[in-house]
């Protein structure tokens, strides 16, 4: 039983109820109008046919809201961060634009440059993948994992961990480990290029396989990781195919970038100006 004392508490409760009711309406609509043969199953239709979920609308709503929040806030932070790193790093922006112009924006004069963007071409944007990874390394949108527990008592690297202990992985710290990353605070997409010296640790070794884990790993690995990369490539390509961005305040370029991730209660504001361009 919850007690809601303040005006904000009551507003929160109203909002939660409004969102849940809206989801329930979608569930009822889908029950009344199931997908037709040949239509691709989406999350909702899978849950409505699942023996554990199909009779429990509250849990279906929980799952849909988890997907929505896990998928929207993370992608928003990632795409915003990439855009800002492109403004702050002229050399990275130039290389990315070269890749896009030579591999994606290949349509004839006058045609929409994006008309030639296909799923296959997205797979080939190797420099873009490095920019995406480096943005996730420097500023993982999810800074900490949720709580994990072992089913049995364990000793890891000499540390005793009881069954009752809560374990949280600090992804941000993992990504800034100076033993794993050369110049760990710099934005250097080449860290993900096997040909680059930045691919190795400062002592010239291969990096630890878990040194970069923005999507966590194992059974808890993010289900939307591939989708998130596709969205970033589509959204950023779409934006830079028509617009050139700069900071509204030119001094911003020389300031350290304000962190943007999903754990911030108050999201930082960085104002950008966009100018229409023909590429």
- Minimum distance, C-beta of residue 214 to ligand HEM, in the bound complex (Å): 5
Rounded (5°) CA angle 74-78-83: 150
The Cα–Cα gap between 261 and 270 comes to 13
**DSSP at 258:** P
By CB under 6 A, is residue 66 in contact with ligand HEM? Answer: yes
* One of 17, 206, 220, 273 touching ligand HEM (CB under 6 A): 220
Pairing of strands 159-161, 272-276: unpaired
**What string marks each residue from 73 to 92 as x (binds ligand HEM by CB under 6 A) or -?**
-xx--x--------------
Residue ranges in 20-49 that form contacts with ligand HEM under rule CB under 6 A = none
The helix or strand, by DSSP H or E, that contains position 119, with its residue range, turns out to be helix 119-123
Name which of residues 137 to 176 contact ligand HEM (CB under 6 A). Answer: 141-142, 145-146
If residue 76 lies in a helix (H) or strand (E), which one and from where to where? helix 57-88
Shortest separation between residue 45's beta carbon and ligand HEM, angstroms:
16
| 141 Cβ contact partners less than 8 Å away, ≥ 6 residues apart | 73, 74, 77, 78, 81, 214, 260, 261, 262
Give the residue with the Cβ less far from ligand HEM, 58 or 195.
Answer: 58
Tokens in use for 239? 């934006």
Which among 161, 169, 262 is positioned nearest to 220, based on CA atoms?
169
Kindly state the smallest distance separating residue 59's Cβ from ligand HEM, in Å: 12
- Residue placing its CB nearer to ligand HEM in the complex, 67 or 247: 67
Residue 222 marked ligand-binding: yes
Residues 240-269 as x/- pattern, contact with ligand HEM by CB under 6 A: ------------------------------
Of residues 116, 122, 53, 128, the one with CA closest to residue 86? 128
Site for ligand HEM, rule CB under 6 A: 66-67, 70-71, 74-75, 78, 136, 141-142, 145-146, 214-216, 220, 222-224, 227-228
């Amino acid at each position: 039983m919850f007690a809601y004392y303040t005006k904000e508490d009551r507003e929160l409760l109203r909002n939660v109820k409004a969102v849940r009711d809206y989801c329930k309406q979608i569930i009822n609509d889908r029950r009344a109008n199931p997908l037709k043969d040949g239509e691709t199953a989406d999350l909702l239709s899978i849950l409505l046919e699942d023996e554990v979920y199909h009779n429990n609308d509250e849990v279906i709503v929980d799952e849909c809201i988890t997907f929505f929040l896990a998928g929207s806030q993370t992608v928003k932070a990632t795409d915003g961060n990439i855009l800002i790193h492109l403004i702050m790093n002229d050399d990275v922006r130039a290389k990315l634009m070269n890749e896009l112009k030579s591999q994606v924006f290949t349509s004839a004069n006058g045609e929409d440059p994006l008309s030639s963007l296909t799923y296959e071409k997205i797979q080939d944007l190797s420099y873009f993948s490095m920019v995406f990874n480096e943005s996730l390394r420097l500023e993982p949108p999810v800074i900490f994992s949720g709580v994990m527990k072992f089913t049995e008592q364990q000793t890891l690297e000499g540390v005793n961990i009881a069954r009752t202990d809560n374990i949280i992985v600090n992804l941000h710290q993992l990504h800034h480990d100076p033993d794993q990353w050369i110049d760990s605070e710099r934005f250097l997409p080449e860290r993900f290029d096997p040909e680059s010296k930045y691919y190795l640790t400062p002592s010239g070794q291969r990096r630890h396989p878990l040194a970069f884990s923005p999507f966590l790993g194992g059974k808890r690995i993010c289900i939307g990781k591939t989708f998130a990369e596709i969205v970033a490539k589509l959204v950023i390509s779409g934006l830079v195919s028509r617009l050139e961005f700069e900071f509204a305040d030119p001094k911003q370029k020389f300031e350290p970038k304000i962190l943007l991730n999903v754990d911030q209660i108050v999201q930082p504001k960085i104002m950008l100006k966009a100018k229409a361009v023909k590429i």
